[in-house]
Copies of this chain bind each other. A is one copy, B any other.
Amino acid sequence: MDPINVFEYEALAKQLMDPVYWDYYAGGSDDEVTLQVNRTDFNRIRLRPRMLVDVSHCDTRTTVLGQLIEMPIMVAPTALHGLGHTEGEYATAQGAGAAGTLMTASTESTRTLEEIAQAASGPLWFQLYIFHSLKLAAELVRRAEAAGYQAIVVTVDLPILGNRERSKRHTISIPLSALKEMVTGVEEEELRREPMTWETIDWLRSITHLPILLKGILTAEDAVLALEHGVDGIIVSNHGGRQLDGAVSSIEALPEIVEAVGGRCEVYMDGGIRRGTDVLKALALGARAVLVGRPILWGLAVDGSKGVQQVLKILQTELERAMKLAGCPTVASINRALVKWT
């Protein structure tokens, strides 16, 4: 029997995968408190569905930065898809495209950004880590532009790596060699780690005309700064509970950021999305769309591109059902009154 929800994909993927790789995908930092609350905080939110609305034509489509997608659910950037499936990011890109949505390719992919773009049938964003010199970052941006990526997603919550204890407990470590070296022809001395600040965002703004999104914002204060520095979108995220443990859940952080932004740019969120109703709650709290991390990897590990497509399809079907049951025929009709905190 095919999996009927993403939790069944999770169980299957766990069975299939090498425990070391599994723990890399599944784990959070320290005591995994934030990883947990990313899920449990959704249960603190209750839906207030409306009845007797004509939902016979229910439309899950939306746009993100003007790009039409079939559902307000996108693929979050995650590293090392090669650990889950031999086809790696190829499969993910194909699955996402087949499902009619956008994929964000990670800097830490096991395929080059050009290879991913070639394999992809849907729109792409490029997730950028600025670890080394700005010259390297500029090179990646230029390549992303050339390959047709539609936006640069700068991940800002990883000045250093979080404390992932599951991995520390394994004697075997993740084969980072699998990482496709995205950057070549750079002088050795340029490989020093570059501190990333708001000035780095200004610099990035100056070198590309692509929209810039910041991924990893968790406070209203930083959202306001982001606007001042001219970003085009904000992804509310705690990196799936893998960076600062004890940080607020994404869904708890979302409202204050939406309020601070006041419609001046698009706000997305990721972290803990596992059901169509989770998407509905996030949208009701002001997210334009959500991104999904681990469930995509579960689909990938279980069934390659077909698994990715199927996971997205399940979430879309669940969202559509939830929208109908909540009296929301369109994404635009989802609003704040749909939810209450308990």
Contact = CB atoms under 8 A, between A and B. Distances in A.
Contact of A50 (B48, B222, B340): B222
Given A322-B244, A325-B243, A51 B216 contact: yes
Contact of A47 (B222, B244, B318): B244
A193 B54 CA distance: 12
B49 A244 contact: yes
Contacts of A48: 218-219, 247-248, 253
Interface in A145-187: 156-157, 159-160, 162-163, 165, 168-169, 171
Given A169-B4, A244-B322, A325-B157, A219 B49 contact: yes
A292 B252 CA distance: 31
A148 to B, nearest CB: 28
A68 interface: no
A15 interface: no
A269 to B, nearest CB: 15
A86 interface: no
Interface in A23-81: 30-31, 33, 37, 42-43, 45-56
A196 to B, nearest CB: 6
Contacts of A252: 46, 342
Interface size class of A (residues with CB under 8 A): 35 or more
A337 interface: yes
Interface stretch (A136-144, A197-205, A302-310): A197-205
A218 B48 CA distance: 6
Contacts of A120: none
A51 B222 contact: yes
A281 interface: yes
Contacts of A1: 169, 171
A104 interface: no
